[in-house]
Amino acid sequence: MNIYVLLKKTFDTEEKITVSGGRIEDDSAEFIINPYDEYAVEEAIVQRDEHGGEVTVVTVGDEESEKQLRTALAMGADKAVLINTEEDIENGDQYTTAKILEAFFEDKEVDLILAGNVAIDEASGQVGPRLAALLDIPYVSTITSLKIDDDTASIEKDVEGDVEIIETSLPLLVTCQQGLNEPRYPSLPGIMKAKKKPLEEIEIDDLDLDEDDVEAKTKTVEVYLPPEKEAGKILEGEPADQVKELVSLLKNEKKVL
């Protein structure tokens, strides 16, 4: 099977966010593989081990994304591709990313593409479904189980807590939700092996695209932090008195009862 994983680097979850010059300050930030993309990498490896074939991890990003691609290789992916847009694209959006990926996949034989259901930074969740539409293959988002038998895929999809049992066919794109699997940590031998695995770097030029072909359709005009929350009020006294005061505050001050 030809399995591809769409991967993005994101801020470490615990990272404190600061804004300067109208953008998120990222000079000293720690980056990780987007947590949902980790489920995708893990699932790709599991499926390959069961059905044979090859896992290729693809990212649209910058030089720095190499680190996350190497981590995916250390987990067990076979190949990685960095589509480096640093030189060419200043302000892309999900339209941009999907268009670039479409061009990348144009000459590929694909059985399965896995992505995270959302990236925890910009949280658009668009790239997977957009790409599937461009490639005209079926897609299922927020999956929590995947079983493949020849060209048929049986899927469990999380729908706001309910579970849908879905049957569809390959080639297929899925986006991964928590619960699908437990991503493995890269092992030491895995890390050593990863250094020798192929990591190809290409630019949009190599995909016969130029900046205008993929120009964003949306633009961020401002980034800001929410107003600092005033310290809350810790109620005092006997539990019964605290509860009385709480209910009165909720009713009379906040008017939510």
Partner 1 sequence: MSDKILVIGELRDDEVRNVSYEAIAAAKKIDHNAEIVGLLIGSGDIESQGQSLIAYGADRVIVVSHDNLKTYTSEGYGQAVMEVVNNESPTGIVMGHTSIGKDLTPKIASKLNTGLVSDVVDIEDDGVFVRPIYSGKAFEKKVITDGITFITIRPNNIPALEKDGSRSGEVSSVDVNITDLRTVIKDVIRKASEGVDLSEANVIVAGGRGVKSADGFKPLYELAEVLGGAVGASRGACDADYCDYALQIGQTGKVVTPDLYIAVGISGAIQHLAGMSNSKVIVAINKDPESNIFNVADYGIVGDLFEVIPLLIEEIKKVKVTV
Shortest distance in whole angstroms from residue 137 CB to partner 1: 8
Shortest distance in whole angstroms from residue 202 CB to partner 1: 23
Kindly tell me which of 89 and 132 has the beta carbon lying closer to partner 1. 132
What mask, x for binding partner 1 by CB under 8 A, covers residues 20 to 59? ----x----------xx-----------------------
**Rounded Cα–Cα distance for residues 36 and 173 (Å):** 15
Kindly tell me which of 19 and 202 has the beta carbon lying closer to partner 1. 19
**Rounded Cα–Cα distance for residues 35 and 75 (Å):** 14
**Of 37, 38, 42, 93, the one binding partner 1 by CB under 8 A:** 93
Kindly tell me which of 155 and 194 has the beta carbon lying closer to partner 1. 155
Shortest distance in whole angstroms from residue 192 CB to partner 1: 31
Maximum Cα–Cα distance across the chain: 72
**184 phi/psi in degrees, rounded to 5:** -80, 160
The backbone region for 52, taken as left when phi is positive above 0, alpha when psi lies in -120 to 50, beta otherwise, is left
User: Which residues, 206 to 245, sit near partner 1 by CB under 8 A?
Assistant: 215-226, 229, 231-235, 239-240, 242-244
Closest CA to 56 of 32, 83, 31: 83
| Contact between 202 and partner 1 per CB under 8 A | no
| Contact between 246 and partner 1 per CB under 8 A | yes
Neighbouring-strand partners of residue 172: 112
Kindly tell me which of 4 and 11 has the beta carbon lying closer to partner 1. 11
| Contact between 161 and partner 1 per CB under 8 A | yes
Contact region for partner 1 (CB under 8 A) — 46-54, 59-67, 119-127, 190-198? 119-127
Residues 6 or more apart in contact with residue 174 via CB below 8 angstroms: 112, 113, 114, 115, 128, 139, 140, 141, 143, 146, 153, 155
**Of 61, 128, 183, 186, the one binding partner 1 by CB under 8 A:** 128
- Alpha-carbon distances of 128 from 31, 102, 124, 180, rounded to whole Å: 21, 11, 10, 17
Tell me the three state secondary structure of residue 249.
helix
